[in-house]
Structure 1
Amino acid sequence: MDRNVKLLYCILGSAVLALLNSPILDYAKLGMFPGGYGGHILGHLLVLIANILSLVGFILLIFFSLILIMNNINLKKN
């Protein structure tokens, strides 16, 4: 498989992780607990894990995008 295609798959996966904090998924997280996750420890843990994964997704998205750009610049020089 071409290196660019592999990098695009990595970027797609990173974008999915980065979108964990979208407003659409907030309602899904709230719906898991009957009274919201305000006083529930598991709810707070779920939100914390989602925030950490989202941050990792944004970092990986930037990293893989830069690698893809540098890879394509090097291909055009050759």
Structure 2
Amino acid sequence: MTEKKRTFEATMAELEAIIQKLEADDVPLEDAISYYEKGMKLSKWCDDKLTQVEKQVANIITEDGEFKRVEIEEE
């Protein structure tokens, strides 16, 4: 999946599948390392996406909890 078309939900599903593979007892060490590396990259992508969304929400809501009109930029 390309970075432009990646969604948070699809990335989380992929990460969950990797976790299930890592939890299996019969994963060869080389495969486990590869899964772990990919999982860490996906985890970072999800964390970065959540940080971006938190910033967007902070820009939408004022201190008194009211919504303010803003333009949301895609990165």
TM-score by length of 1: 0.53
Matched-pair contact (CA < 8 Å) for 1:11–1:64: yes
Deviation at 1:70? 1.4
Task: Calculate the aligned-residue CA RMSD, in Å.
Answer: 2.6
Which runs of 5 or more residues in structure 1 are unaligned? 1-5, 31-36, 38-42
Does the alignment pair 1:49 with 2:34? yes
1:57: how far off? 1.6
Runs of 4+ in 1 over 6 A off after TM superposition: none
Superposed displacement of residue 66, structure 1: 0.9
The AA in structure 1 aligned to 2:51 is L
Structure (1/2) with the larger helix percentage: 1
The 5 A counterparts of 1:53-68 are 53-68=38-53
The secondary structure found in structure 1 opposite 2:7 is helix
Bigger relative CO (Cα 8 Å, ≥ 6 apart): 1
TM-score (norm. length: structure 2): 0.54
Deviations 1:14-59 (A, max 9, x none): 323432124xx332x72xxxxxx5xxxxx22211110001111211
For 1:72 and 1:45, the matched residues in 2 are separated by: 41
Q: Number of residue pairs matched? A: 57
